[in-house]
Structure 1
Amino acid sequence: MENNTKKVIPIFFATDNNYVPFLAVALTSLLDNASNDYFYKIYILTTSLKKEYIEQLKLICRDARPDGVSIDFVSLTEEMDKSSGNFHLRDYYSKETYCRVFIPRVFPQYDKVIYLDCDIVVKGDISEFYNIDIGDNILGAASEEVMMEYDVFGDYVEKALGIPREKYFSAGVLLINAKKYREDDIETKFIDLMNTYTFRVTQDEDYLNVLCYGKVKMVDLGWNKSSFKSDKFDDKNLKLIHYKINWKPWHYDNVYYEEHFWNYAQKTFLYDAILKIKADYTEDLHERDRLAFENLVKMAIEDSNDPNNYCNSQKMKA
């Protein structure tokens, strides 16, 4: 039941059936740590979802906060199908990763929203993230730590995209100024750029970084900390953990911050399913991941050195 006396915080996730178990963990952690002073409107964006998963996710919200949260499932199949966008995919990427692009237009009732990837655990109070003042910027987001820690990817964003590595943000945790996003017509610009130039390395994240560069409020890394150890980060500032690439506790042992994931996984209806996912993740799949990461490095180097990359092509136009 919605409590209209409380300020509403709209939060969006996007998932397919494969990522529902991890979404369940993310949702459980978010609601466990969120302030009672707000009403949380959760939207699950998808193109298709099993009925049993929908019911399980509803139960998580009902059990966590019977009067403080609502959850709605919104199919963006029609939006994706009628879009002229050529949605580039690779590895574990699904079409749902592009759902975030449509949020401001499809939900015009909101001027400010949160978007979260499913492969996260929220340790802080998400209302604190929502209340960050991002001014007239289009987005509030944290630096993409992978670009900071791995020179090959830092070189990529600087040489191929023309963005300083410390200014390249992770698109998995976003505070979106939906009003400004609509005013600047980012959705149309995104589709147009996607249809004229293919970014191979981080795809939708690259497009958003290029389009929003100079209009992003960089927030504390604690709101989007990757699941590997960094001597540059103090764990006392940890508010949100992002399990990405090959640092996923449902695939690997000894992942940094894995205890936080398993703590919340045990509280979900899908704990046994997550354990099975890990048990079934064979050495052959580990090898596939290793080769995929090697290929990602290779693409980053190739695109950095490509005379016709995006950055160089923009310079030639100038």
Structure 2
Amino acid sequence: MAFALHDRNGQYSKNVATVIASIFENTKEQVRIHLLHDNTLVHERRLLFKTLCNDYSQEIFFYKIANKENFQSQRFSAAAFFRLYLPDVLPQYIHKIIYLDADICVNLDIIDLWNANLGDKSLGVVRNWIECSDELKICKSIGIAEEFYFNSGVLVMDIDKIRKNHNLVKETCLFLEKYPFAELPDQDALNYIFNQEIFLLEGKYNTLVKDDEYEIMENRIYHFAGAKKPWNTYCGIYTNLYCKYFAKTPWFNGEFLSELYSQFDKKTKWLENFYQRTNRCKIILFGAGYLGEKLVHKLNLSSDTAYFVDNNKKKWDNKIANISIFSPEVMLKEKGDYKIVIALIIYYDEIKNWLIENGYKENIDFFDGRKINGMEINWW
């Protein structure tokens, strides 16, 4: 089993540990964990991973990734690209591996997935149902049929075939040069590279949990790939499932549940403030990308009530979801009653500081779009 970790604030080590615990809890098989990480994994949390695996008489191996190619994404941390290094860093005696994202709960015996017969294919994957118009455009532009576009959060990888036929790091660099504005660069690159080499697995091995979708818990791999995560937004039985497995990790303590529900209360108050202050105001979305498009639909915005600004000149005078995109200078000259929503994931702090320098006040004049969309943010 392979995982990738960028642990800047300590949250994602908890999430990876929860996935690992969910695997151990549901199998009697011997499992080896291969954890790819950067220098954000501190010694203390490394020891906690070892404790977790020792508690189940399992093994864990660590691989520090230098990321010399400087892979990065507006939406995700560099860890999203670490899986590309698996064929290079894993020992030669490893011929096959299962890679899982950190926002997953495994509620079945992982041996079922391990035994999947890929035939002559390099990857076992589950189809991704495309809902974002930008993704559909990318899918078409790189020559992949929509019905074969897959979600890269669960991968059964034939490492021998991949080593023989590919250089994933080099091929991804070439893809990003050709498609620099891919919204899901790591996933799009893997789809592009393995277009003719995938075996479609049953949907139960990568069940994407949708907003407000509550159902009877089944033997599935649940993937919280959307903005709402079970550790930051109450998701009914899904938060209960996450807590069940998180409680099996060394990270769990008696304050966890009270802290979790305290976060929910803080979110409710923050959202109440946002909607009160933005009532009848024009909305300016700072950042014309994936999150911005999501916010247009979530806030029910139109060209009469909103527009985008973005620092990328190539986006100016274009539209997303029929909403125009302008230079930030247009916003600075705005005369009417308006509020700003920062629709960026990675660069929030940079834009926040720039707005403060220009006289705007946080949570009064401008707001964090990630919070509006229910994403994983510190709320205090």
Q: TM-score normalised to the size of structure 2?
A: 0.64
Q: 1:212-232 deviations in whole A, cap 9, x for unaligned? A: 11210010111111122799x
Root-mean-square deviation (CA, aligned residues, Å) is 3.2
- Structure 1 residues 274 and 142: alpha-carbon distance in aligned structure 2, compared to 1, 3 A threshold: farther
Which whole-Å CA distance do the structure 1 matches of 2:136 and 2:6 have between them?
32
Deviation at 1:245, TM superposition (A): 2.5
Could you tell me how far apart the structure 1 residues matched to 2:16 and 2:62 are? Answer: 13
Deviations 1:155-189 (A, max 9, x none): 33543433232211111110001111112214122
Q: Indicate how the Cα distance of structure 1 residues 178 and 278 shifts in structure 2: closer, same or farther if over 3 A, else same.
A: farther
| Contact map agreement 1:141 1:219 (CA 8 A) in 2 | yes
CA distance in 2, matches of 1:271, 1:166: 40
For the structure 1 residues 132 and 60, does the alpha-carbon distance in structure 2 shift closer, same or farther, using more than 3 Å as the test?
same
Q: Distance in 1 between matches of 2:116 and 2:203?
A: 13
User: What secondary structure, in the 3-state scheme, does the structure 2 residue paired with 1:268 have?
Assistant: coil
List aligned pairs for 1:268-307, cutoff 5 A.
268-272=249-253, 275=257, 276=259, 279-280=262-263, 282-283=266-267, 294-297=291-294
**In structure 1, C-alpha distance between the alignment counterparts of 2:50 and 2:163, rounded to whole Å:** 30
Give 2:177's aligned residue.
Answer: 195
Greater per-residue helix proportion? 1
**AA partner of residue 98 (structure 1):** F
Show the counterpart of 2:311. none
Which residue, out of 133, 140, 152, partners 1:152?
Answer: 133
Counterparts in 2 of 1:259 and 1:234: CA distance versus 1, 3 Å: closer
Q: Give the alignment of 1:233-272 within 5 angstroms.
A: 238-254=219-235, 257-272=238-253
Q: Determine whether 1:45 maps to 2:36.
A: yes
What one-letter code is carried by the residue in structure 2 that aligns with 1:39? Answer: Q
* Matched residue, 1:143: 127
Look up the equivalent residue of 1:163 and give its one-letter code: I
Calculate percent identity across the aligned residue pairs.
23
8 Å CA contact 1:119, 1:242 repeated in 2? yes
Distance 2:42 2:141 in 1: 40
The yes-or-no answer on 1:204 pairing with 2:195 is no
Partner residue of 2:19?
Answer: 26
Deviation of 1:126 after TM superposition, in Å, equals: 0.9
Partner of 1:16: 6
What is the distance in 2 between the residues matched to 1:88 and 1:267? 32
Contact 1:104/1:181 (CA < 8 Å) preserved in 2?
yes
Spell out the pairing of 1:109-188 with structure 2 (5 A cutoff): 109-145=93-129, 147=130, 150=131, 152=133, 155-187=136-168, 188=170
When residues 157 and 167 of structure 1 are mapped into structure 2, their CA distance, relative to the original with a 3 A threshold, is: farther
Write the distance in 1 (CA, Å) between the matches of 2:121 and 2:34. 23
d(CA) in 2 for partners of 1:255, 1:156: 34
In structure 2, stretches of 5+ residues that fail to align are: 275-284, 297-314, 322-380
Bigger Rg, structure 1 or 2: 2
1:106 paired to 2:89: yes
Q: SS where residue 172 of structure 1 aligns?
A: strand
Whether the aligned pair in 2 keeps the contact of 1:144 and 1:169 (CA below 8 Å) is yes
Amino acid at match of 2:35: I
Deviations 1:28-86 (A, max 9, x none): 1100112x2x421111110121111111111111112x2xx211111112xx22xxx35
Q: Secondary structure at the match of 2:105?
A: strand
Paired residues, what number? Answer: 276
Higher relative contact order (CA 8 A, sep 6+): 1
Q: TM-score, normalised by structure 1?
A: 0.76
What residue number does 2:367 align with?
A: none
Instruction: Tell me the residue number matched to 1:306.
Output: none
Where does 1:87-98 land on structure 2 (aligned, <5 Å)? Answer: 87-91=71-75, 93-98=76-81
Aligned pair in 2 of structure 1 residues 119, 295: CA closer, same or farther (>3 Å)?
same
Going from structure 1 to structure 2, the CA distance change for 1:131 and 1:234 (only over 3 Å counts) comes to: farther
Helix, strand or coil: the match of 1:98? helix
Alignment partners' CA distance in 2, 1:61 and 1:72: 10
1:259 to partner: Cα distance: 2.2
Query: Where does structure 1 lack aligned partners over 5 or more consecutive residues?
Result: 1-10, 304-318
Q: 1:251 to 1:139 in 2, by over 3 A?
A: same
